Each structure stands twice: as C-alpha cells, then as structure tokens.
Amino acid sequence: MTTAIHLDGRSLDRASLVKIAEGAPVTLDAAALEKVAKAAEFLAEQVRREEPIYGVSTGFGSNADKLLGARRTRQSAADDQAELSLHEELQRNLIVTHAVCVGEPFAPEVVRAMLGIRINTLLRGHSGIRVETLQALAAMLNAGVVPVVPQLGSVGASGDLAPLSHLAIVLLGGGEAFYQGERISGGEALKRAGLSPVKLSHKEGLALNNGTAQMLATGVLAVDRMEKLLDTADLAAAMTIDAFAGRLGAFAPEVHALRPHPGQVQVADNLRRLLQGSTLADIPYHLVPGFKTWQPESWNTPATSALSFDIFWDWVPDSQRHGREKFYQRFKPFRGGKKHQPQDSYSLRCIPQVHGAVRDALAQAARVLDIELNAVTDNPLVFPDAKAEHVEQQVISAGHFHGMPLALAMSYLKAAIPVLASISERRTNKLVDPATNDGLPAFLIGNEDGTESGYMIVQYTCAAIVNDLASRAMPAAVYSVPTSANAEDHVSMGANEARHVLGMTRDLAKVLGLELATAAQALDLRIGMINAARALAREGDAGQFATKVRGMPQADSQAVFLAEVESLRQELATSEAFHPGKAVAAAHAEIRRHLPMMWRDHALDGDVATAVRLVETGTVLSAAQAALAR
C-alpha cells in the first residue's frame, strides 16, 4: 500500500506532490477543514444578505458588472438548469463553458498532481468552497478517476481556467476521465468508482478553476526530472573525462572557492567524487597510445590478435626537444594519443561552470515552486475573521492567479535546458571526431576495411535534438495576448512555459543517454588500448615494444632510442591495470549489462533506445550512486 500524503494547505512539498502524481492517495487535515467550513458559511451568509461579491453574485471577467437577480429573466420548459438557483447556475456554467482545452491529454501523473495542488490550496480556507465539495474532489483523486485534460488552452493568468475546468467538470459528472486505464465519460467514471456528481454552491466553480495548478504541476514534475538529469549529466561528463584521460585540476576545491557559485561548486565536487580512484584521469601523456588501424601483422599472439585495433607512439628526437628540456625531464619523449597540453577543451574543463549554472537556474525555479505549492491562488480571497465595515474588506479581489512568478522561473529553466544538452552534444562530438578525441579511432570503430560508420550518426541525432531544444527555448512569458475582452489585459503564458519545460526534459534525457552510450564505447577503447600496451610491455623486451613506436632513428642514435623505449616499456610494465573512477566503472558496467560494446557495425536503433531508457529509468545513475555509497 502507498502511504497517504496528508494535506493541510501549508506543508506540501515537491517530493510529496510527486508521490501523489505517481499514485499516492491523500488525506485532509481536520483543522484545515474547520477553516474551510468557516469560510463557506461566511460566504453563504453574505449571499443571504444580498451583498454584491465578485464571482458569487456577479458574473466573471468582463461580465463582472452584471449582478445576479432574484429570479431568471427567461425560463424555458426545456431548460436543464431549471432546478438550479442562479448562484448555482453561475458556478456550473463557469465550469462547463470553460472546459475548452484542445490537443493530446496530459499524462495521468500531471493531472493527479494538478488535483493534489488544487485540494491543498483550497484547504487554506480562503476560497469559500464547502467541505463536502473538497472531500468529493479528494475522493475522486483517491479512487483513481483521472480527468482528461487536453494540453492547450491556458494563458496562465486568471489561473489555468480552462484545464482546471476539465478537472472540475468530471466532478459534476461531465467531461471525460481515465479510469483503470480506460477513457470514458466523466459520469461513468464516477459511477464505476462508486462516487456521485456534485452540485456546486457559492463561488465553488471559481474556487475549482481559478489557480495555477497546471503550470505548477508540470513545473514540479519537470524540476523533479531535471534534478535527476543534472546528476546524470555530471555522470556522463565524468565518464567522458575518463574516456579522454582528462585533467582534474580544473575541478579542484581551491579553484572553485575563488568563484563560489553554488551550482558550480556542487558540480566540481560531484566530478571529483565520480572520478575518485581513476587511473586514467591525470595519466602522464606519454603512457597513452594512439589508435592505429589493425592489420594482420599488428599483433603476434592469439590473445592480442583478437583485438580490433593497433597502437602507436611517435618518438620525439633530441633535435625537437630544444627549449622543452624541462617538459621532457618530467615526461618521456613520446607522443601517443594524448595531446601535450595542460588543459582540456571547454566542454570538459568548464563542466562545473556550465552544469553549475543550469543547477542554479533549477534552484531558482524550485524556490518559486516551493512557495507556490502552499499558496492561495484563486480569486476573490475570503477573510472571514477580518474585522471590517464592508464585505469588500473581507472578500477581496486580487491577482494571485497570475502565473508570472512561475512563468519567469520556468523561462529561466527553459533557456538552461538547451545549454546542458549542447555541452553534452559537444562532448559526444569530441569523442567521435579523430581530430579531437585524443587518439581514439574515428567514430569509435576500428574500420580496418573502410566499411564501418560506428557512432558517426549518433552525434547527428544529438545535434538535431539540440537544435530542436534551442528553437523551443523562446520564453513564452514575454508574449502576452490579452483575453476576456481585455479584462485580462496582461497574461503570463506560464502554462505554456511549464509545459514546454516538461517536454524538453524528455529530449534532454535522450541527448544524455546518447552521450553515455558513446562515452562507454570510448572508455572501452581507451582502457583496451592502454592495457594492451601494458600487456605488451610486460611480455616483451624493448625491441618488441619498439615495433609500436614510429620514428626509429639512424643507426648512430638507435641506442638512445631503444634506451628511451625501454624506459617507457618499464613504466607501463610496472603499472597496475588502468581503470576509470569507481562510480564511473559502476555506471559503465551497468550500461554493458544492457548494451554490448560495438566491435563491428551493427543495427544501432535498439542500442539507442536502450541508452535512452537507461537514463529515463535512472538505472545507470542508480548504479553510480550505489557505488558512491559503498
């Protein structure tokens, strides 16, 4: 049984809302329900006193100047609302005329989150809803009745009027709902769940559909997904660093103490932990061989002949060491795969600055959402305990439904997502490009016969997704389109903003999955090449090892050459087997459980789907986190 989430209007957090979205039931706080009842009774008393109150005894929006009379102006015998009072008809009509969204329906988890948010905010006791109506809404959620809410239709100011009306219309027995996986009419869904439709009272329609629940629900689910994707991005970057035998100095704590943006400091710490124990990172340049195409004469033992690569070093003659003597006192005079430069490219060296900035954008979005989760966002607001001469001081029209706080927070995150995807794609490209991958084969495949493409087109897919994400990053919040005959003359478009962000996280996961798959292939090759060099060094002498070194000099310098080859051979021979960081190794092993290394070209569609799934399910991230916890 899933533990119920207790709602009181004041303590809902993002983690609890995610549990509601995933199926947890809710319970309602008794003390909060007393406040709900008090506000509803106060409102009913004002109606009995015939006080003019917006949305209760007046119309809505541009109809706010229309006061309800004591009886209908015109009555039709065929009128299906004849049994309703004008106050009840006003609230019913608000819902049935506002449920006009179009497009594909939101996923059930989004709708359940919307219901949880709406129930929680109504529990604050400032909305005028009756206890029995609020309990009916909670019963619908707990029974698994999920209203069909099409995705397009909110401008995010008067709240998410249209989508929230799709929630409420099912409570009235209308609309459509999913129940036990079947899409049926709202009335039938209630019937199958053993529930009865509700007849709305004073202001209840407005309380149900006036608020920020759609943008908040999609925003919370997007932030929850982004938190995991940021950790995955750090992991993918760490695996890429190990595959490059990269440099760790740029992640040192004393470096980031000088520019202590919180996200940047956290990412640098994450990378240090993920790469802890690596013997590839910071490896001396001269120990890293470069890739050379396999030939039948490349290796002379059965074990090594099975390899898909050959390796090489270039010897640096004494004539080319002038002015570099100090360098060659520290490093042996060989050039293999690793470039002789003390810093890596930006896509590696600046990971803390870029990933960290995205983390800071996420933290800002989370801060806004955390406030909104326990805010009252409908209108007007009811203050039954206020001492006032006039009802206007106790039922106050304000603008808490306006979604701009959420919209701008989401626009910040929306701009950050393509940034994270872009740096991931740049790392993927760097891995497959022989001009930048520090001695790995082109497209990470041996290709000795010239027939193989390897991971070439994987990078194309990443590039296409990054472009698509960038084209969707335009902030919706900057483009207000007035509505309701200009009564709502400035709107937030926050619902579109948050919906875009949620969709963009799915595509970000694809880019990160492809980087992980590519980095795993590169890591296998890098480890294989270095450890093949180590095995050769342990088995042969300087003469045999020299067959992998290009640039043997004329006879008069061969003794010096062979002596320096022997020093390289001995250093490799006495080294332990080379391996990545502990957490990177665990993630790599988990990838290889589902996705074999590509030794020769094969159909990659299944591999790509698997790589994306491993990110979406958190499988690879969990393996790395478990290794860190041990």
Q: Give catalytic residues, as residue numbers.
A: 54
Q: Is 60 exposed, middle or buried (0-12, 13-18, 19+ CB in 10 A)?
A: buried
Q: Which of 94, 218, 222, 90 is nearest to 158 (CA)?
A: 94
Spatial distance between the Cα atoms of 168 and 97, rounded to a whole number of angstroms: 12
Six-digit token pair at 510? 């694809």
**DSSP 8-state secondary structure symbol assigned to residue 539:** H
Answer for the pair 156, 403: CB distance below 8 angstroms, yes or no: yes
Spatial distance between the Cα atoms of 600 and 25, rounded to a whole number of angstroms: 51
Q: Is the dihedral of CA 138, 141, 144, 148 positive or negative?
A: positive
**ω before 380 within 30° of 0 (cis)?**
yes
CB-based contacts of 423: which residues, under 8 Å, 6+ apart?
347, 350, 351, 354, 355
Mode of pairing for the β-strands spanning 310-315 and 290-292: antiparallel
Question: Helices in 373-493 by DSSP H: which ranges?
Answer: 404-432, 456-471
Spatial distance between the Cα atoms of 455 and 525, rounded to a whole number of angstroms: 13
Answer for the pair 153, 163: CB distance below 8 angstroms, yes or no: yes
Spatial distance between the Cα atoms of 164 and 116, rounded to a whole number of angstroms: 12
Answer for the pair 13, 36: CB distance below 8 angstroms, yes or no: no
φ, ψ of residue 613 in degrees (nearest 5): -65, -40
Spatial distance between the Cα atoms of 503 and 218, rounded to a whole number of angstroms: 9
- Give the alpha-carbon dihedral of 543, 546, 551, 554, to 10 degrees: -10
Region label for 270, one of left (φ > 0), alpha (ψ between -120 and 50) or beta (otherwise): alpha
CB-based contacts of 519: which residues, under 8 Å, 6+ apart?
236, 239, 240, 242, 243, 427, 428, 431
Answer for the pair 372, 223: CB distance below 8 angstroms, yes or no: no
Six-digit token pair at 100? 């006009």
DSSP string, 16-70: HHHHHHTT--EEE-HHHHHHHHHHHHHHHHHHHTT---TTTTB-SGGGTT-B--S
Answer for the pair 218, 110: CB distance below 8 angstroms, yes or no: yes
